[in-house]
Structure 1
Amino acid sequence: MRFRAVDSFRGMAAIMVILFHLQHLNLLSGSTFIAKSDIFVDFFFVLSGFVMTHSNYDRLTNLVSIKAFMIKRFKRLYPLHLFTLLLVLLFELFRYGVNRFVVPLSNPVFAEDRSLTSFIANLTLTQSLNLFNDVTWNGPSWSISVEFYTYLAWALCLVVFRKNLLLLCSISFSLLAWFIVRHNGSIIYNYDYGFVRCVYSFLIGMLTYRLSRRLPSGFSYWQYSGAEIGLLGLTVVAVSSFTHAESWLMPLLFALVISVFSREMGVVSKLLVNDRLAFLGKLSYSYYLNHFVVLAVMDLLLFKLIKLPHSGAGELFFVFACLACIHVLSVFTYRHVELIFQSVSPDRASKTVTEMAII
């Protein structure tokens, strides 16, 4: 079973993260919703817990099953992570050439966040386990690092606790509550305590799936429609207005959104299951990992070298050019990098040209 409406949300959340990294533009700087859209990373974590519980909870019974699960997750996550890491390396070499032979750059080349040590850590997916003082290389990959080890911790705990969720969650949420209280309610961490942030949201996603399957679904189309519209409005308001001290509540809101929209029973979810929107969800991982290097390349080329003016029209052109390049690159990486270890359907290649025209 694929949760198509929620998949569409995943794609839109990835686009909001892209816009978050463009908030320095005058065109977008006035939007508090965009300024706080990095919180949608927690949407990914909650959704991951929801989906992993749906697809793997019953399969994780012993160490052998954990090994198979982790190999499968590694094959899904690592190819694109490695590809984008090498892209960032190539871009840094390009910057070195520009800085030496064309025009001096304001940001240093091969700075502390792009050192040999942090490159090796990125290769081992350990770059965000509180080893460095900032995000390194392909910045957004911090979440891939912590999510990979969250998968491992979750699978091991299910086996060790023999799926006694009452005991598992009592211990886990007691420790997480202690952390949240000690950090004044904030879960906005990445390179340092990103693992804790991911575990918190992932476990909420797991419980959401387990509880939502037991709740009655005998509500009408209009009741679901009202709930969906209300949740969309609440999400916009909450994302625009939450503070760090309230950030621990956001995964709970995302869990409610996922629970309601996963049933695909209301007017909004019926729109979201459209194939074109659902394809955005398929591209979301590529959007997320590709966008950082694309934005950096486009900024260097358009603003630094070509001298595109920072006018409203210039910045609007920059935004659409970036989104188009991210989309085209993501179609390529989804088809030829992400799925390199996955089973390939016969018509995969034939769909690529059509899919590239979606945005």
Structure 2
Amino acid sequence: MRFRAVDSFRGLAAIMVILFHMQHLNLLASNVFIAKSDIFVDFFFVLSGFVMTHSNFNKITDFESIKPFVVKRFKRLYPLHLFTLLLVLLFETFRFVVDHYVVKLSNPVFAEDKTLISFLSNLTLTQSLGLFDQVTWNGPSWSISVEFYTYIAWALCLVMFRKNLLVICGLSFSLLTWFIVRHNGSIIYNYDYGFIRCVYSFLIGMLAYRIRRRFTADFGYWQSSFTEIILLALTILSVRSFTHEQSWLMPLLFAFVIIAFSQETGAVSKLLASERLAFLGNLSYSYYLNHTVILSVMDLVLFKLIKVPHTNGGELLYILICLAGVHVLSLFTYRHIEFILQSVSSKRTRTSAANMAAV
């Protein structure tokens, strides 16, 4: 079973993260919603916990079942991560040529966030386990790093503590509560405490799925539609107004959103579950990992080389070209990169979905 509505919601969240990384533009600088849209990374984590519990909870029963699960997740995450990492390396090399032979760049080439050591760490998906004091290379990949190791920790806990799962969950949330209280309610971390942030939201997603299975309400179309509209409005309002001290509440809100929209019984969820919006879910992972490369390339080309002025018109042109570029690159990576380690039958299925998404 695929939760199509929340999958499309994930695509919308990925687009908001893209806009978040363009908030330095005068055209977007005053938009409070965009300025806080990095919180949607926690939506990804909650949804991941929800979906992984749905698809793998009953499959991971002993230590032998952990290996195929981890291998499958590695094959799903790593190809695009490696591809975008190499793209960033290629672009940084291009910047080196421009800096030395065309025009002097204001930002240093191969700076502290792009060292050989951090590159090797990115290759092993360890770049966000507290080894560095900033995000490195392809910035958004910090979440892929912590999510991969969260999968491993979750699988181990399922095997070792399945009979006492409530106890281990209670202990985990006690430790997480201690961390949250000690850090004044904030979970907005990435390169330093990103793993803890991911585990917190992932476990909420797991519990959200268990709640959905056990206490699903039989709402009609209009009741579901009203609930979805209220939750959507509450999400917009909460993203606009939350502070770092309140950020720990956002994954809880996202859990309610996922529970409600996964039913696909209301007007909004039915719209999101439609084939016309399916491409948002299909391309969301590529959108997320590809976008900073496109943003950096277009910033260099448009504003540094072509010297497009930083007027509203120039910045709007930049935004539109970036969004189009991210979409085109994501179509390519979805078709040819993301599933390159998958089985032939799986690749055929995904290629068919990508062709439909391009229509």
Question: TM-score with structure 2 length normalisation?
Answer: 0.97
Aligned to 2:80: 80
Q: How do 1:11-26 residues align onto structure 2 when only pairs under 5 Å count?
A: 11-26=11-26
- Equivalents in 1 of 2:119, 2:173: separation in Å? 33
Per-residue displacement from partner, 1:117-159 (whole Å, max 9, x unpaired)? Answer: 0000000000000000100000000000000000000000111
- Equivalents in 1 of 2:327, 2:358: separation in Å? 7
Q: How do 1:87-102 residues align onto structure 2 when only pairs under 5 Å count?
A: 87-102=87-102
**Residue 356 (structure 1) shift:** 3.1
Aligned to 2:329: 329
1:356 aligns with 2:358: yes
**Larger displacement relative to structure 2 (179-188 or 161-170):** 161-170
- 2:334–2:354 contact (8 Å) kept in structure 1: no
Per-residue displacement from partner, 1:252-295 (whole Å, max 9, x unpaired)? Answer: 00000000000001011111111121211110000000001110
- 1:176–1:196 contact (8 Å) kept in structure 2: yes
Aligned to 2:51: 51
Aligned to 2:183: 183
Aligned to 1:213: 213
**Larger displacement relative to structure 2 (166-175 or 31-40):** 166-175
- Equivalents in 1 of 2:352, 2:281: separation in Å? 19
- 1:327–1:356 contact (8 Å) kept in structure 2: no
The 3-state SS of whatever aligns with 1:184 is coil
Aligned-residue CA RMSD (Å): 1.2
**Residue 65 (structure 1) shift:** 0.5
**Residue type of the partner of 1:106?**
S
- Equivalents in 2 of 1:5, 1:157: separation in Å? 29
Change (3 A) 1:224 1:8: same
- 2:13–2:40 contact (8 Å) kept in structure 1: yes
Change (3 A) 1:174 1:294: same
Instruction: Give 5+ residue unaligned stretches, structure 1.
Output: none
- 2:339–2:347 contact (8 Å) kept in structure 1: no
**Residue type of the partner of 1:323?**
L
| % same residue | 72
1:39 aligns with 2:39: yes
Aligned to 2:125: 125
Aligned residues: 357
Change (3 A) 1:163 1:203: farther
**Residue 70 (structure 1) shift:** 0.2
Question: TM-score with structure 1 length normalisation?
Answer: 0.97
- Equivalents in 2 of 1:126, 1:352: separation in Å? 30
- Equivalents in 1 of 2:144, 2:248: separation in Å? 20
Aligned to 2:294: 294
Aligned to 2:314: 314
**Larger displacement relative to structure 2 (179-188 or 160-169):** 160-169
